[in-house]
Chains A and B, each alone.
Chain A
Amino acid sequence: QQPVQSPQAVILREGEDAVINCSSSKALYSVHWYRQKHGEAPVFLMILLKGGEQKGHEKISASFNEKKQQSSLYLTASQLSYSGTYFCGTEIGTDKLIFGTGTRLQVFP
């Protein structure tokens, strides 16, 4: 039931791009993306609804393909501040958000 993310970890230099994937075995109605920095609470990045729309947040954007039950998060020209663990979240019924397995991103100068 828990969405599976890939890769598990990514190491980047500043300015490089990355893609994080989220895949579910169940039908998706929406996908949330959160970032959690070390020792801090998860912070909401964006939500994608059915319809395959793409959303953006600064240089971070995401896509959602409900047919394939997948979402991807695109980080462009990464900055040091992008370091953290990224979680996708899927809604399993009303009010119930389940987080994916997580992807740890480290950006070095």
Chain B
Amino acid sequence: DTEVTQTPKHLVMGMTNKKSLKCEQHMGHRAMYWYKQKAKKPPELMFVYSYEKLSINESVPSRFSPECPNSSLLNLHLHALQPEDSALYLCASSTWTPNTGELFFGEGSRLTVL
């Protein structure tokens, strides 16, 4: 199983809503990532979890709150978002060994904030 599964595929929310994005992988990868991608732009790194601990936070606003309940799951909790937060949110996982380090991406959750 080389899949990273993200739910939901599409999400529309108001600025006062609270929602969550979910990501799951069963490849035994120790690193999991959240990237944000705006149209026609490269993915931007948001958070990295390594062995279920938050290892990288790229100065992301606190209205985005990541959580890694176990080694297979990664959540992104959303609260009081702004319209400019509308984007494709990509989850990825990796073994990050010296000769591989390949990132496996999920299909993404497309978020629209009204």
Contacts and interface: CB of A to CB of B under 8 A. Distances in A.
B101 A42 contact: no
A84 interface: no
A103 to B, nearest CB: 10
B13 interface: no
A102 B55 contact: no
A41 B105 contact: yes
A49 B44 CA distance: 22
Contacts of A42: 43, 90, 103, 105
Nearest to B94: A95
Contacts of B55: 94-95
Interface string B72-107: 000000000000000000100010101111111111
Interface SS majority for chain A: strand
A95 B55 CA distance: 8
B106 A41 contact: yes
Contacts of B100: 47
A84 B103 CA distance: 18
Contacts, number: 58
A44 B103 contact: yes
A98 to B, nearest CB: 6
B45 interface: yes
**In the complex, which range does the number of interface residues on chain A fall in?**
20 to 34
A30 B101 contact: yes
Interface string B31-62: 10100000011111100101000011000000
B105 A43 contact: yes
Interface in A92-108: 94-102, 104
Contacts of B105: 41-43
B108 interface: yes
Nearest to A2: B42
B42 A96 contact: no
Contact of B98 (A34, A49, A104): A49
8 pairs of A and B residues whose beta carbons are closest in the complex = A41-B105, A99-B42, A44-B102, A95-B48, A102-B42, A95-B31, A41-B107, A42-B105
5 contacts: A44-B104, A94-B96, A95-B96, A96-B48, A100-B42
